[in-house]
Amino acid sequence: MNPSRALTFARARRSKFVSELKEFLRFPSVSSQPERAGDVRKCASWLAQHLQGIGLERVRVIPTRGNPIVYASWEGTKNRPTLLIYGHYDVLPGEPLAQWNTPPFSPTVKGQDLHGRGASDDKGQLFCHVKALESYLRTARALPINVKCIFEGEEEVGSTHLLPFIAQNKNALRADAAVISDTKRLAPERPAISYAQRGGLRAEIEVRGPRQELHSGTFGGAVLNPVQALCEIIARLHDEQGRVTIPGFYDDVREWSEKERAYMARTGPSDEKILQDAKVEQGWGEAGYTLYERTTIRPALTLNGIAGGHYGPGVKGVIPTRAVAKLSFRLVPDQDPERIGNLFREHVARITPSAVETLVRTLSPVQPALVDRNHPAVRTAGLAYKKGFGAFPVFLRSGGSIPVVNAFKESLGIPTVLMGFGLPDDRIHAPNEKFHLPNFYRAIDTSIWYLAAAARTLHGSSRVGRAEQLERERSA
């Protein structure tokens, strides 16, 4: 099927597409805040109706014990391959609200950017594919390839219910490859395909001290303070070289070949670029690795938040009863989240002073993931990028985690093409998140090209076992 009519359609509809994306962004579909569950469901219904409206079939809102999964498909051609398109319609909280220039759930166009929570991660990016599908369906009443769309509402909280859903619906979800746009490009003119994702594990440490708040004059100096104890435990999680000190933490970390590291140095962002994206003056972390390596092939332990005692306005001279820290592990091949969780638990127990008690909770384990750069589904994406963006993509490793990539490999036996449409300065997970609109338009074109090209190259190409083996050999 020639994509030219779909491309013409899409280009004529740009302002309408932006209006529709704004509608989508207006739902505060925050999966980590239980009080937003109603908004998450409304957002799922809106998305399902939208998919129905553009001509997809078998549209369903599938309830789970958590947030619903939105499913839609088009399987109108028997002898063509099937592409699974994944995205997530849930978003992170808007807090801290005071740091937004426009409210997070009042999407606003400023210059060439659309501002709003989810604009890039991931409503905007999944919408590129939806609009590509629409452009074919409205012009040809058909797609060049069979498609199954699966849009979840719990990516930001670990895809808890999607992963078992995939395992239980292997036949229904059968496909030749999956595509996910939930990653970033190097620059507007430098598209990128992510071929590696770090895994992850969330954890909380709670330190419990006195059963009741104590006057810090009366008891200060005689009772161990849980805030102090928590700080001392956290301080003992890294050494002065920025390495994690949990015994056994690095045991399973894969060492990459000089060739792979040289490839990374050639294609990946420089230290200066990463610092510029982060808007910080100075890097930090494990000695002996570039910042790109520290955020991709090396694991990390990050504090996400801490609270204890009296931290509001004013003063309160107390020894608090408890203090809690939230943290995230970012894991790399071949670290196993469960084993890391156990090592962490044991380490915290070992360094907890006897005068307080610690509780460790872990959640949302995600395995690290790798995709073969030479798989046809990936190579085809390169061609589509060349058409849509005028440049071949670079192959990048990502620092974050998309839990579903492993599920697609393990349950469905298919590779995932991580076709990033975001930009490094999109401020995902931060105030003033935005999506660059020229990027949005080119990404729709790219998806249109990809659907046409994948119809020719994908068939029978699913051989993830072998690809994975090659990847391992390369790194040996």
Coil, helix or strand at residue 253: coil
As a whole number of angstroms, the distance between CA 42 and CA 39 comes to 5
- With beta carbons less than 8 A apart as the criterion, state whether 385 and 439 touch: no
Q: What are phi and psi of 336, to 5 degrees?
A: -110, 120
Comparing CB distances to its own copies, the nearer of 81 and 403 is 403
- Closest to its own copies by CB, 300 vs 458, is 300
Nearest distance from residue 354's CB to its own copies, in Å? Answer: 6
Q: Are 294 and 302 in contact (CB under 8 A)?
A: no
Query: For residues 373 and 368, what is the distance between their CA atoms, to the nearest angstrom?
Result: 16
Which C-beta is closer to its own copies: that of 77 or that of 228? 228
Specify the residue, 78 or 284, whose C-beta has the smaller distance to its own copies: 284
If the CB atoms of residues 329 and 449 are measured against its own copies, the closer one turns out to be: 329
CA 2, CA 448: separation in Å to the nearest integer? 10
The continuous run of DSSP H or E covering 475 comes out as helix 464-475
Q: Which is nearer to its own copies, 326 or 474 (CB)?
A: 326
Cβ atoms of 150 and 59 closer than 8 Å:
no
Question: Minimum distance from CB of 91 to its own copies (Å)?
Answer: 11
Q: Closer to its own copies at the Cβ: 131 or 397?
A: 397
Strand segments (E) across 183-249: 192-197, 199-208, 214-215
User: To 10 degrees, what angle do helices 437-457 and 376-389 make?
Assistant: 140
Please, what is the minimum distance in Å from the beta carbon of residue 13 to its own copies? Answer: 31
Quick one: angle between helices 437-457 and 4-12, nearest 10?
160
CB of 63 vs its own copies, minimal distance in Å = 21
Q: Nearest Cα to 83, choosing from 395, 372, 377?
A: 377
Tell me whether residue 401 or residue 411 sits nearer to its own copies (CB atom).
Answer: 401
Residues 252 and 233: their CA atoms lie apart, in Å, by 24
Residue 395 or 450 having the CB closest to its own copies: 395
Four-residue CA torsion sign, 216, 217, 220, 223: negative
What's CA 419's distance to the chain center, in Å? Answer: 12
List Cα–Cα distances, 414 to 162, 168, 372, 411, in angstroms.
16, 16, 11, 8
**Closest distance to its own copies from the beta carbon of 372 (Å):** 22
CB of 256 to its own copies, least distance (A): 15
What is the smallest separation between the CB atom of 201 and its own copies, expressed in angstroms?
11
Closest distance to its own copies from the beta carbon of 391 (Å): 22
Q: Alpha-carbon distance 407 to 132, whole Å?
A: 25
CB of 281 to its own copies, least distance (A): 8
Q: For residues 448 and 141, what is the distance between their CA atoms, to the nearest angstrom?
A: 14
Compute the least distance from the CB of residue 311 to its own copies, in Å: 4
Nearer CB in complex with its own copies: 140/343:
343
